[in-house]
Amino acid sequence: MFDFLIHGFGVALTPLNLGLAFLGALLGTMFGALPGIGPINGIAILMPLAYTLGLPAESALILLAAIYTGAEYGGRMSSILLNVPGDAGAVMTTLDGHPLAKKGLAGPALGLSAVSSFVGATIAILGLTLFAPLLAEVAVMFGPAEFFALMIFAFASMSVMMGKDPIKTAIGAVLGILIGTVGVDSSTGVMRYTFGMPELYDGIDFVVMIIGLFAISEILLMLEHANRQDDEDDIPPLGRVFISLKEVLACKGAMVRSGLIGFIIGILPGTGASVGGAVSYTTEKRISDKDGTFGTGDMRGLAAPEAANNASAAGSFVPMLTLGIPGSGTTAVLLGALMLYNITPGPMMFSERPEVAGGLIASLYIGNVVLLALNLPLAGVFARILTIPRWVLVPGIAILSFVGVYQLHSDLTAIFLMLIIGVFGYLLRKLGFSLAPVILGYVLGGLMEQNLRRALSASGGDIDILWRSGISIGLWIAAAALLVLPWLLPKLITKLQPSNRPMAQVEDD
């Protein structure tokens, strides 16, 4: 394991990869600071540029991973200063972060957020280093049937834990699966949903799908609110940014507990930082909120979701690297980036492409330190990004999106398809659908179909192979439990709660 990590640092510490880690951390913080942009849009915009520049696979992944972790840092700025979450994972940060800013503690709040993010990410990266190679050894025993059961578990986990409405989450995942089936079936040669268009024979390209679904739909939402005054939200004065050691030590328990919670939740397929932040905040409130100060500007209420958000982001790399299953919507995009380089994520990547897996894990250590060094002294500079007007932001995102797709395909058909998908994503967002399940369904659907066919081919069409092994049975049971327990637990808790009615009334009954 340590040999593997040393090899990874040998890759990550080359001048090119060090520079890319620093650039990714800087750009990620900027993307995260802008409300609505977030890590997915940042990666979607820059992924085709990284590919067309001819960067090696490990270098491209280091750049994109640094953008991901940097955006988790940057998302806290608009949450604390403007009460506007930079992405879904920063929602819980607003509960105590913005009240602290109103009290004149915006600078210390940003400083504590950076330290908490560093602690949470460090816990998760250590967990990734320890458990990813071990889990990869276990995953080698997985056959097609086990991987199919794992996909079912991933969809069940995503339906229950991602988004407020499980039904809409499930519908979004099904839409993603349907989009993933477009093109010529590689096994039978059957045309699926091509409508006689040769441009669709190869299916819908991943980059076109990502940029259209996220970047173009975000542009349309920005245009919808273009009449809103850009300067309606005033950034409060930051004051001192460096937080005192006493303030950090007062939150140490919240940071460590939330970092562990975030890492565990990040490992679950399809959950992501938003679930980790919500669970950690609720847990910490039950443990520490003795005086009812959470929600009014409590430092611990800010430290908990920030540590969990970054721990979940790092933890989501575990299923992606070891099982080929994205742990969040953003790692689904990173999974697609690996596929652009013809790299199949999974347990064999640790032995076949150790420079990619090891270099990525080592770069997370480096990027985490770089982010702390950037975010503490430069918080005031990054905060000014929030003042960029929409008339500058929208054309900038549009230019990067169009250039990225055209550089990759040199075909106007891809541009039109990107715009159509963008309008589709915009309509979904207007109807209250989360886009992360759509992209997860798009990525996982093809893998699930391939493993189902391989399993049935190996068994001669006997469907019993799907639940014949102990691993498959365990995954099927876990998936069923995830779908059933959220409906049963509230009813059980209600029945088990003691009645508050007077004894006389109970006896009369």
DSSP 266-302: HHSTT--HHHHHHHHHHHHHHHH-SSS-TTSS-HHHH
β-bridge pairing 183-184 and 191-192:
antiparallel
Ramachandran sector of residue 268 (left: φ over 0; alpha: ψ -120 to 50; beta: rest) = beta
What is the predicted pLDDT for the residue at 123?
A: 92
Number of Cβ within 10 Å of residue 201's Cβ equals 12
State the SS3 of 100-165. HHHCCCHHHHHHHHHHHHHHHHHHHHHHHHHHHHHHHHHHCCCCHHHHHHHHHHHHHHHHHHCCCC
Place of tokens 């876990």: 478
Question: In the structure, how many helices (H) and strands (E) does the chain have?
Answer: 24, 2
Predicted confidence at residue 427, as pLDDT, reads: 93
* Residue 54, both tokens: 């001819």
d(CA 247, CA 428): 43
3-class SS of residue 86: coil
Q: For CA atoms 295, 300, 306, 309, give the dihedral sign.
A: negative
Look up residue 507 and give its two tokens.
């006896």
Report the C-alpha gap between 275 and 267 in whole angstroms: 12
SS3 (DSSP) at 242: coil
283 and 261 in contact (C-beta within 8 Å)? yes
C-alpha 87/C-alpha 72 separation (Å) is 8
Q: What angle do CA 213, 330, 473 make, to 5 degrees?
A: 110
In this prediction the pTM is: 0.74
Measured in whole angstroms, the distance separating CA 446 from the mean position of its chain's CA atoms is 20
Q: Which residue has the tokens 């949903």?
A: 193
pLDDT digit string (tens) for the chain, length 509 residues: 677 778 888 888 889 989 998 998 888 888 877 766 777 778 887 888 888 788 888 888 888 888 888 887 877 777 787 776 666 667 778 888 888 887 878 778 888 888 888 999 999 999 888 887 777 777 777 788 888 888 888 787 776 655 567 788 888 889 998 998 888 887 777 888 888 888 788 888 877 888 888 888 888 887 877 655 444 455 556 566 667 788 888 888 889 998 898 888 888 766 666 667 777 887 888 888 777 788 778 888 888 888 888 888 888 888 888 877 777 777 878 887 887 788 877 777 777 788 888 888 888 888 888 888 887 777 667 666 666 777 777 787 788 778 878 877 777 888 898 899 999 999 998 898 878 788 878 878 888 888 888 888 888 888 888 888 888 888 888 888 877 766 665 555 555 555 444 444 444 44
At 426 the pLDDT is: 92
Question: What are the extents of the domains in the chain?
Answer: 3-496
